[in-house]
């Protein structure tokens, strides 16, 4: 509509941005993580392999940060929850010696991989996310691109591979410490003999369970690596944004680990039905 001479022009109406569909942001982040995973695999497979030295350094850093927490957490969890609680149940029936078989099954299948994944995500994952987020805030990642270097190959690949390898190796440590926790519960608390604890030790041990436990924890590490690297590389909002990204990365990693663990366990039990029988 034309305005008369001398009348003030009408202010343009504010247009509201279109509302995003529910869950669109979450789907966008999942798609971004899948894209980052593909880029990481391609960068790791294609020469030159300039990430090898950084891979060794990151592996050593993750080991130093996570070895003691994994050992302590697994031992005392095994002693407290399944050790004392499960021991009270079997003690009623006078079969404390069955704790050996019980701990081998539960340690391999669930709580050692689960605690291992939680510690790796909570200790190493947060450190990696904070490091990459700080680099993003200081524009170091953009500087790498300006210099012609690939940030994925230089920063993501060594951390991604180190998390996958260390988590699988750390799972073996968690299994041993879980068994030690069960031994303390059976022998020290319930006065069972060492021979009695070890007599049923291999009743529920099978190679598919052992290999499956190591394989799924390796995937746990790769999941943590992609999540924390993605959140660290997409930090917004300065130093406060780094803190938010770290918190979000831990929550997302936990949910992804639990979801994958549930699916993997069902597939393993379906592929090897003998693993579902407890002796």
Check residue 223 and give its pLDDT: 95
Of 18-27, 111-120, 145-154, the least confident? 18-27
Check residue 256 and give its pLDDT: 93
Summarised one tens digit per residue, pLDDT across range 182-225 is 888 877 777 777 777 777 777 767 788 888 888 999 999 999 99
Which pLDDT band, with edges at 50, 70 and 90, does 127 fall under?
very high
Tell me the pTM: 0.85
Check residue 126 and give its pLDDT: 92
SS3 letters for the chain? CCCCCCCCCCCCCCCCCCCCCCCHHHHHHHHHHHHHHHHHHHHHHCCCCCCHHHHHHHHHHHHHHHHHHHHHHHHHHHHHHHHHHHHHHHHHCCCHHHHHHHHHHHHHHHHHHHHHHHHHHHHHHHHHHHHHHHHHHCCHHHHHHHCCCCHHHHHHHHHHHHHHHHHHHHHHHHHHHHHHHHHHHHHHHCCCCHHHHHHCCCCCCCHHHHHHHHHHHHHHHHHHHHHHHHHHHCCCCHHHHHHHHHHHHHHHHHHHHHHHHHHHHHHHHHHCHHHHCCC
201 vs 17, residue with greater confidence: 201
Residue 82 has pLDDT above 90, yes or no: no
- Quote the percentage of the chain above a pLDDT of 90: 36
Which pLDDT band, with edges at 50, 70 and 90, does 180 fall under?
confident
Rounded mean pLDDT of 3-31?
63
166 vs 273, residue with greater confidence: 166
Rounded mean pLDDT of 162-169?
93
Check residue 68 and give its pLDDT: 93
Check residue 252 and give its pLDDT: 92
Check residue 20 and give its pLDDT: 54
Summarised one tens digit per residue, pLDDT across range 41-52 is 999 998 888 889
Which pLDDT band, with edges at 50, 70 and 90, does 8 fall under?
low
Which pLDDT band, with edges at 50, 70 and 90, does 99 fall under?
confident
Check residue 13 and give its pLDDT: 57
Of 83-92, 114-123, 168-177, the least confident? 83-92
Check residue 279 and give its pLDDT: 58
Which pLDDT band, with edges at 50, 70 and 90, does 130 fall under?
very high
Residue 56 has pLDDT above 90, yes or no: yes
């Amino acid at each position: 509509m034309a305005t008369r001479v001398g009348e003030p022009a009408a202010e343009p109406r504010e247009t509201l941005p279109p509302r995003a569909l529910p869950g669109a942001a979450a789907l966008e982040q999942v798609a971004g993580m899948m894209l980052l995973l593909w880029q990481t695999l391609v960068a790791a497979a294609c020469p030159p392999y300039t990430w090898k030295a950084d891979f060794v350094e990151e592996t050593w850093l993750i080991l130093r940060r996570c070895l003691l927490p994994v050992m302590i957490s697994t031992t005392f969890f095994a002693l407290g929850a399944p050790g004392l609680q499960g021991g009270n149940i079997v003690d009623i029936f006078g079969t404390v010696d069955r704790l050996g078989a019980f701990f081998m099954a539960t340690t391999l299948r669930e709580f050692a991989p689960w605690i291992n994944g939680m510690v790796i995500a909570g200790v190493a994952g947060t450190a990696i996310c904070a490091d990459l987020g700080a680099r993003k805030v200081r524009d170091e990642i953009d500087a790498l691109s300006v210099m012609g270097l690939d940030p994925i190959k230089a920063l993501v690949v060594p951390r991604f591979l180190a998390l996958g390898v260390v988590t699988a190796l750390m799972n073996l440590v968690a299994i041993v410490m879980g068994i030690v926790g069960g031994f303390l519960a059976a022998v020290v608390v319930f006065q069972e003999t060492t021979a009695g604890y070890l007599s049923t030790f291999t009743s529920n041990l099978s190679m598919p369970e052992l290999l499956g436990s190591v394989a799924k924890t390796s995937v746990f590490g790769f999941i943590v690596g992609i999540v924390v690297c993605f959140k660290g590389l997409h930090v917004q909002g300065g130093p406060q944004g780094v803190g938010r990204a770290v918190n979000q990365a831990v929550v997302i990693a936990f949910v992804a680990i639990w979801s994958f663990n549930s699916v993997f366990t069902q597939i393993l039990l379906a592929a090897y039905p003998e693993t579902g029988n407890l002796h």
